[in-house]
Structures are given as C-alpha cells and as structure tokens.
Amino acid sequence: MAELATSLTDEDVIAYLQDAAELLESEPTGSVGLLEKFPSLAEEYDLEGFIDETDPEQWIRATPTVYPRWRIGKGIHQDPDQLPDIDDDPDCRLEIVPYDPDSIEDLQEYVVQHIKCQIRDCFVHMGMVPPEPFHVQGPGADINTMQFQRYDFLQPYHDPDADIDWESV
C-alpha cells in the first residue's frame, strides 16, 4: 500500500493517469478494445511492470473449489464442510440452476454463457453498456437476476427471449 501511495507522486505515473483519463473520456462508454490500449500506454511511460491491472490474467485473483450452495426462498444454504478454500471472496461464482447436459461440450457452453452474463451484469450495474461480446441474455448472478425481475427500470437481461436495447442501460 505504501508503494502505491508513493507511486502516485511519481511524474510518470501522474502523466500515465492523465493520459488514461483522457483516453477514457475520448472513447464511448463500453468501447470494445478500450482496456487493450492501456498496456501500450503503460509501456510509453515505462510502467508495464507496475501497472499489472492492465493484464487480463491478473484480473481474476481468487478461485475456490466447486462447492454447492442453494437458495430456498430468501435463505441461502450451504454445507459447512464444503466451504471454499480461499481467504478472499471469489471473483466469479457459478450460480446455475440444475441442468442435465447432453454432452460435456453442452455443459461447457452453458457455463461460459453464465459467466458472460455475470460480466454483462457488472457493466450494467456500473451504468455502462456492455461491450459487444457481452451482449448476451440469460441469468447471471442470482442477485442480479432477481433485480432484473423485480425492478421495471432495469431491462430483463436475464430473459433469453426479451427485446434488449443494447444502446442504453
């Protein structure tokens, strides 16, 4: 933390942050490829080793083993003997309904779709139009699906058959 605080007074870091802010202001909200521009910008200021958040491999920090957790009404239930083996909250959770796939490929496709829906939900809840690869419909995280069902001011992203206006959130 001290290293981060000290770095914020470094002239190169300040210049990088100013250029990054200008880049964010000049691009439309949710522009595909925007995050891919930051590594080359960091390289211009010789900060590529310091600005790790621009590397997508660094975005997921915590992944637990798979364990069951289920909702009945408003309560969430889980087996205390199968709790995750990590010290941090996971960056992603599979919150899928029971599913009987025809093949392992079908299951993989189902899980990828579910994760894309969670990523879409993150953008929507930040008030940003999701990038094109995340213009997907279906249930994401359980809490987001419940909000989409309950609040009329949110589009029904959870509904695979709904008409979604991808130009607004």
Q: Which residues contact 161 (CB under 8 A, 6 or more apart)?
A: 137
- What per-residue confidence (pLDDT) applies to 161? 94
> In the chain, how many domains are there?
2
**Contact of 16 with 47, CB cutoff 8 Å:** yes
125 located within any domain:
yes
Containing structural domain, residue 53: 2-58
pTM: 0.57
139 located within any domain:
yes
Q: Which residues contact 29 (CB under 8 A, 6 or more apart)?
A: 128, 129
Per-block mean pLDDT, blocks of 10 residues, the chain (169 long):
52 76 68 66 70 51 62 74 64 74 89 90 88 91 87 91 90
CA distance 107 to 29: 32
- What per-residue confidence (pLDDT) applies to 12? 75
**98 in the same domain as 53:** no
